[in-house]
Structure 1
Amino acid sequence: MIIGIGSDLCNIERIQASLDRFGTRFENRVFTELELAKAKRRPLNYAATLAKRFAAKEAFSKAVGTGFKAGVFMRDIGVVNAPSGAPTLALTGGAKARLETMVPAGHKVRVHLTLTDDHPWAQALVVIEALPEG
């Protein structure tokens, strides 16, 4: 069963402006070390790579219904790749705790994530699914 859906559209130029203005202070407040490392391997698409991840964080916060309050912080939501290469989320702290409160007893959770960009836009869609265990 679907227990949450969230989407976000992010302007890549807005992320570039934040990078230009605040530099590492912005990067370290919003992104995980893994996300920053991935973006650094894509120097020609650095801002677009981060904008997609920014959109994913926003989409997740909408899917769990909190936004960035109730202990859910941007750095608690990290975009990672599954063994197949598909993007998904690694959650820690308040983001993980909030998700755990949403999962019905006897179910496990699966987070689906899709990312795309077409300059100047980056988009993310998060679907949270609860699957019966066993």
Structure 2
Amino acid sequence: MIDPTRIQGAVIGIGCDLVDIERVREMHERHGERCLTRIYTEAEQAYCLQMRNPYPSLAARFAAKEAVSKAFGTGIGKEFGLLSLSVGKGQNGEPVAVLDDQGQALLEKVGGTEVLLSLSHTSTQAMAFAVVVRNPS
């Protein structure tokens, strides 16, 4: 259950993204491990690749990276790279945004204190929704 006191505050930015699962599968088959290490953290790879079909989870994480970059207003580039975000799991299995030093610095720069994530997928598409918030002190 969500603790409503945890997410009170100002919304700094929102972002969403939709990814075709087949596109991620084809990219992995064409470029192999090299593409995985350029896009996903070791933790994300370990989580997704232990699944019978890793592609829906990989696609959702790719969508999360794009959604968070949009919530920051930067897109993927110099200020926020693909490896700046790792999608982890919270206490109840919910997706949690884990930022590297570059991502954390950007969060502080925009005045945010937290990134909230929601992920979902069908058999063909994965989506992510991200919100950068500033919680009251």
TM-score when scaled to structure 1? 0.91
Identity %: 37
Q: Which amino acid aligns with 1:129?
A: V
Distance 2:135 2:79 in 1: 25
Structure with a larger share of its residues in strand: 1
**2:133 is equivalent to residue 129 of structure 1:** yes
Q: Which amino acid aligns with 1:116?
A: S
Distance 1:110 1:28 in 2: 25
For residue 99 of structure 1, what is the aligned residue in structure 2?
A: 107
Q: How does 1:1-134 map to 2 (within 5 A)?
A: 1-43=10-52, 45-103=53-111, 109-133=113-137
Does the 8 Å CA contact 1:72/1:93 hold for their aligned counterparts?
Answer: no
After superposition, the CA RMSD in angstroms is 1.1
TM-score when scaled to structure 2? 0.89
Distance 2:79 2:37 in 1: 18
Q: For structure 2, list consecutive stretches of 5 or more residues without a partner in the other structure.
A: 1-9
Distance 1:12 1:46 in 2: 10
Q: For structure 1, list consecutive stretches of 5 or more residues without a partner in the other structure.
A: none
Distance 1:116 1:101 in 2: 29
